[in-house]
Structure 1
Amino acid sequence: MTSHDEHGRPAQPPPQSLAAVTLLEEIRSGLDDVTLPLALPGADQARRGAAAARAQLDDYILPRYRSLDAPLLAVVGGSTGAGKSTLVNGLAGHPVTRAGAIRPTTRQPILLHNPAEAAWFEGQRVLPGLSRMRGTLAANPAPTGHAGEPATATDSLVLLADAAVPAGIALLDAPDVDSISDQNRLLAGQLLAAADLWVFVTTANRYADAVPWKLLLDAASRDITVAVVLDRVPQGAEAEVSQDLRGLLDREGLAGSRLFIIAETMLDTHGMLPAGAVDELREWLASLASDAAGRADVARRTLNGTVRALAQRIADLADSVRAQEQAAARLESDAVAAYENAATRILDATRDGALLRGEVLARWQDFVGTGEFFRTLEQNVGRFRDRMGAFFRGEPAPAVRVEAAIETGLQAVIVDEAANAAEDTDQRWRSDPAGRQLLAADDLSGTAPGFADRAAAEIRAWQEALMELIRTEGQGKRTQARWLSFGINGLGAALMIVVFSMTAGLTGLEIGVAGGTAVVGQRLLEAVFGEDAVRRMADKAREDLAVRCRQLLMDEQQKFLQRLPADNPDLAQTLAVQAGRLARLAESA
């Protein structure tokens, strides 16, 4: 037995459902993380599916698991003008809801319950998103349908206690499932998803309409108990129409549905059906309400079917999340590849001699002198050192001009390749629906503001680090005397020239590049530091430059990557596991 509080409600879920409630609460919490932000095919439908799953967990599944012996909620739903409100009035035996000719008629859902069971519905146990309003019975509710009448809010639920409603079941008069009002249509779907039992009302000339059948097929998928009321059947056509409708129900998996026929008839002055018109349906509902075992069977059957349908919905969400992850990874890969290619092109330009031309070559030649200087270098390294030392001590400006020329040339290469990478990424993303959505109207095909200045600053920082490398390498007294005689700027300029003449990271020089001027720097540095030290310094300088260039480009590509949704790598797998656990829960029940 389930323990109850002073209001007749279960104090807590029975032990067998506690594990299920824990699982369902975990799933409900996790659904808040399912955003599906990328514009992929089917993403809109998946987002609606996630919202529907959250709503159904809140409105029906969790409340029912927490209180398995709560009264059944029978939702009366159907097409526009089918006579739902009139049917509810007939079941109560007196007017309780409004009926009219102008649509939409039912604007605000009304929940009729036995007075002794008010506590089950006054709180937020079911349909927690709807506020509660307490209604009172009136002898003749005013009809709706007057022109200009304001619509009643669809975010509230009117609670109406009526002794005509048997204990154990409550009736909820829902808006039209095909209402011209979007709000009414959405609310009708929400209420039907919260039902233990559907009383589906249609008419003799509209029972094959597409919208009602879509909902009936959903009912079949959830194994919900459905009572179909065929209203306004012409006299003499009962057998033919009911047989055709029964055939449709059987073919669509609803063979177990109860079918009730209401003949076409005149309503009285209060809009009430003739006495006895709904007796068969009223008796069936009363019998169900009085049978505790029968009610439990209906509740469990609907609950298990809903959980089984939820398992499939969660599995579909897992697939959608996985598709989002793959799309985001594809866009990220496109951006990363474009900027990695740009970094490769920059580094290729720094080692294939391309920078040892133009302004850099002119400044270097100004620095080292005329052709007679090269002949001197070949004849006598010692004389070369003396001459260079005097040159550095007397005229430091040419070395600085070499550094400036290198900075300008390298900056131009970096900025140009960063712009190429941005254009490439922009084109790739715009060819993808998800990327196009993320970019929207923003043009990211060029470098970000200030990038050229950041590149120049990074090049100067690299040159400073290179100078520090020379100072560190020349710590020995003998070596220090040598490099001091040549000047730090001059040696730095020479090392930059050597770095830019190295092919594929090797120390061998491209003799033909820039008229062989790189050989001068090589010989000078070897005369001061030795061949091994020069190779080591060049390798370090090149590695430092590569790191700085890649970091510049990595920072630049963030203007694309920061638009990608936040990564949640475990979400798809978590949803897939939860879907499996839900399926096993439904099977075990």
Structure 2
Amino acid sequence: MTTDNEPGQPTRRQHDPPAAASAAVDLLEAVRLELSRVTLPLSTPGVEQTRLDVRNAIAQLDDYILPRYRSLDAPLLAVVGGSTGAGKSTLVNGIAGHAVTRTGAIRPTTRQPILLHHPADAGWFEGLRVLPGLSRVRGAASADALPAGRAGATPDAAAISSLVLVADGAVPQGIALLDAPDVDSIADDNRRLAGQLLAAADLWVFVTTANRYADAVPWKLLLDAASRDILVAVVLDRVPAGAEAEVSADLQALLRREGLGSARLFLVAEAELDPLGMLPRAAVEPLRTWLKDLAADATGRSQIARRTLNGSIKALAGRIGSMARAQEEQREARAMLQASAVDAYEQAAGRILDATKDGALLRGEVLARWQDFVGTGEFFRSLEQGIGRFRDRAGAFFRGEPPPAVRVEAAIETGLQAVILDEAANAAEEVDRRWRTDPAGRQLLGTADLSGTAPDFAATVAAEIRAWQAGLMELIRTEGQGKRTQARWLSFGINGLGAALMIVVFSMTAGLTGLEVGVAGGTAVVGQKLLEAVFGEDAVRRLAKTAREDLHQRCLRLLQAEQRKFLDRLPEGPPDPGVLAGQAAALTRLADAA
């Protein structure tokens, strides 16, 4: 046989699809589109198999289901498959009556799939109607009788991705034979291609031998055939003389047990090949006659095509239902990871808010600087003599040069920064721990260590606290614009009032113990009464609430920025699994209605 490469051209439809098939084609194309959108990026249970199922489903839609629905009257495609060394190529040569495909001792012999068809059927296969992912190589049967070891296309680098088309009058019109690579080939690409070709078949001619018919790999594919309700012919090759009845009975029992009791069984007795490597003609005559009868019966061919098509669609519906469930698992896994990150940082924000309300920030340096600012002598004695005289004496007390309120602000900034940094680090460590206990989270984190804060987070926090303090000063400035209060707040100084307001914001004393309660409580009262003397009680309450809420929002933004390092690793949410689930149900109805 000689070959010449010809680029595959887009096929033209030989016939317009019947109106009855139009809606089915629309559904199948919608399923194809939805499958192309399926992303399963998270490491959920069974996801690797589901990813493979998605790829295989798309391939089968492209290679077989859509082409067959668009061309229901196209010739049947009979794929000849089986294990390494089972004699597939020898069988194909025997059906054709001459060597058209390579045989030999070196495995694999079938490196390049060869499709034999009647010359009148060439238009169905020259384009990309079926198996569009394989380029076409046009071959021709050699005029001279060649030994089977020299027949067939010469393998090259592109062999595995191309399909050799051979027009041969020995093949009956209405059926084509495709010699596929070994299903258990030592070459990974050959095994994948064999599976792809078998999924594109209208019927299988499955070749095995008397001593290998129970091998696991072929049976896995035969079980797939049973799930698709495909017509299967099993050829038991190299059957020793006298063992026909025993071996065939055992194989038939296996076929019945696995739901393939209707499979046709052909026995090829062990025989010497002639000098050209050909089987005796009589050895394959029953199979040749069966194929010829199938090809001659247009009604029977149509029934076989529809049976395989409906079985493939029903099996596809089941796989798509599983894919929809896998999508839902992806959504749930993503939501759980997202929720665990958000929850950890929300809890951190809550703890920071508690620290700003329970008086904890009035400890240590903040308390010392505030006491330096307001003093502990005459000021507190006046407070003990009666808070009622505070309004009269506070102004006189502060008319002199005020102590450096800026020191109070700096102490608050340092203390608040330490709280935020500590809680942000705790949240990061908690999210990292939670994610690493989950396979999906562990995959997303990889080798990255996100259990601490970002390198520049401390500086960012300090800047945000200063911005909060500046905003608080602006609140006081805005509140003091009235003529009646302006003189008062000018006499106290905006920094002094700002420091007092910060103390009021942090004035709730829960969490302080012993002497701290009295000291912190007393200083808080000083700040509050000072502010009330200037602005009034309602205004102070409003200012404190606004300042606390502003601080809380700023802390939330800081923590949300930190949690992005986790959330940014999450993939986009998968499409709504309800779409695939609905399509699976529609495919089941389509198959059942046939």
Q: Does 1:39 align with 2:48?
A: no
Among 290, 294, 304, which residue is 1:284 paired with?
290
Which residue does the alignment assign to 1:116? Answer: 120
Where do residues 82-93 of structure 1 align in structure 2 (5 Å cutoff)?
A: 82-93=86-97
Distance across 2 between alignment mates of 1:119 and 1:371 = 107
Distance across 1 between alignment mates of 2:391 and 2:567 = 55
Which residue does the alignment assign to 2:408? Answer: 402
Where do residues 168-179 of structure 1 align in structure 2 (5 Å cutoff)?
A: 168-179=174-185
Q: 1:405 to 1:133 in 2, by over 3 A?
A: same
Among 125, 129, 132, which residue is 2:133 paired with?
129
Q: 1:109 to 1:534 in 2, by over 3 A?
A: same
Q: Does 1:386 align with 2:424?
A: no
Contact 1:422 1:447 in 2 (8 A): yes
Among 5, 23, 30, which residue is 1:26 paired with?
30
Which residue does the alignment assign to 1:577? Answer: 582
Where do residues 358-373 of structure 1 align in structure 2 (5 Å cutoff)?
A: 358-373=364-379
1:56-114 alpha-carbon deviations (Å, 9 max, x no partner): 11111111111111111100000110000000000111000000111111111111111
Is the partner of 2:283 in helix, strand or coil? coil
| TM-aligned CA deviation for residue 142 of structure 1 | 6.6
Q: Does 1:526 align with 2:535?
A: no
Contact 2:63 2:130 in 1 (8 A): yes
Contact 1:388 1:486 in 2 (8 A): no
Question: Which blocks of at least 5 consecutive residues in structure 2 are unaligned?
Answer: 1-10, 511-515
Contact 1:376 1:383 in 2 (8 A): no
Which residue does the alignment assign to 1:155? Answer: 161
Among 222, 228, 233, which residue is 1:216 paired with?
222
Which residue does the alignment assign to 2:428? Answer: 422
| TM-aligned CA deviation for residue 247 of structure 1 | 1.1
Distance across 1 between alignment mates of 2:396 and 2:433 = 55
Which residue does the alignment assign to 1:273? Answer: 279
Among 202, 209, 234, which residue is 2:208 paired with?
202
Distance across 2 between alignment mates of 1:292 and 1:341 = 72
| TM-aligned CA deviation for residue 449 of structure 1 | 2.3
Q: 1:88 to 1:479 in 2, by over 3 A?
A: same
Contact 1:96 1:141 in 2 (8 A): no
Contact 2:76 2:174 in 1 (8 A): yes
Distance across 1 between alignment mates of 2:565 and 2:529 = 45
- Report the count of equivalent residues: 572
Distance across 2 between alignment mates of 1:403 and 1:472 = 19
1:461-502 alpha-carbon deviations (Å, 9 max, x no partner): 111111121122222210222212211111111001000113
Contact 1:39 1:434 in 2 (8 A): yes
Distance across 1 between alignment mates of 2:593 and 2:509 = 69
1:260-314 alpha-carbon deviations (Å, 9 max, x no partner): 1110000011111012211111111111111111110000000000000000000
Is the partner of 1:276 in helix, strand or coil? helix
Q: In the alignment, residue 31 of structure 2 is paired with which amino acid? A: I
TM-score normalised by structure 1 residue count:
0.94
Is the partner of 1:228 in helix, strand or coil? strand
Distance across 2 between alignment mates of 1:516 and 1:123 = 92
Which residue does the alignment assign to 2:338? Answer: 332
| TM-aligned CA deviation for residue 174 of structure 1 | 0.2
Q: 1:473 to 1:152 in 2, by over 3 A?
A: closer
Distance across 1 between alignment mates of 2:74 and 2:127 = 13
| TM-aligned CA deviation for residue 545 of structure 1 | 0.9
Which residue does the alignment assign to 2:417? Answer: 411
Which residue does the alignment assign to 1:4? Answer: none
Distance across 2 between alignment mates of 1:322 and 1:197 = 35
Which residue does the alignment assign to 1:69? Answer: 73
Q: CA RMSD in A?
A: 1.9
Is the partner of 1:112 in helix, strand or coil? strand
| TM-aligned CA deviation for residue 511 of structure 1 | 5.7
Which residue does the alignment assign to 1:244? Answer: 250
Q: In the alignment, residue 552 of structure 2 is paired with which amino acid? A: A
| TM-aligned CA deviation for residue 378 of structure 1 | 4.4
Which residue does the alignment assign to 2:571? Answer: 565
Which residue does the alignment assign to 2:592? Answer: 587
Ranges of 4+ aligned residues in structure 1 off by more than 2 Å: 7-12, 141-145, 149-153, 376-380, 382-385, 510-515
Q: 1:141 to 1:520 in 2, by over 3 A?
A: farther
| TM-aligned CA deviation for residue 144 of structure 1 | 6.8
Which residue does the alignment assign to 1:263? Answer: 269
TM-score normalised by structure 2 residue count:
0.93
Which residue does the alignment assign to 2:358? Answer: 352
Distance across 2 between alignment mates of 1:250 and 1:411 = 75
| TM-aligned CA deviation for residue 513 of structure 1 | 5.4
Q: Does 1:98 align with 2:102?
A: yes
Q: 1:309 to 1:390 in 2, by over 3 A?
A: same
Q: 1:144 to 1:442 in 2, by over 3 A?
A: farther
Q: In the alignment, residue 575 of structure 1 is paired with which amino acid? A: L
Among 51, 58, 64, which residue is 2:55 paired with?
51
Q: 1:369 to 1:513 in 2, by over 3 A?
A: closer
Q: 1:180 to 1:388 in 2, by over 3 A?
A: farther
Percent identical residues? 72
Is the partner of 1:13 in helix, strand or coil? coil
Distance across 2 between alignment mates of 1:309 and 1:180 = 28
Q: Does 1:477 align with 2:486?
A: no
Q: In the alignment, residue 224 of structure 1 is paired with which amino acid? A: I
Q: In the alignment, residue 408 of structure 2 is paired with which amino acid? A: V
Distance across 1 between alignment mates of 2:179 and 2:328 = 40
Contact 2:111 2:181 in 1 (8 A): yes
Contact 2:149 2:277 in 1 (8 A): no
Q: 1:415 to 1:8 in 2, by over 3 A?
A: closer
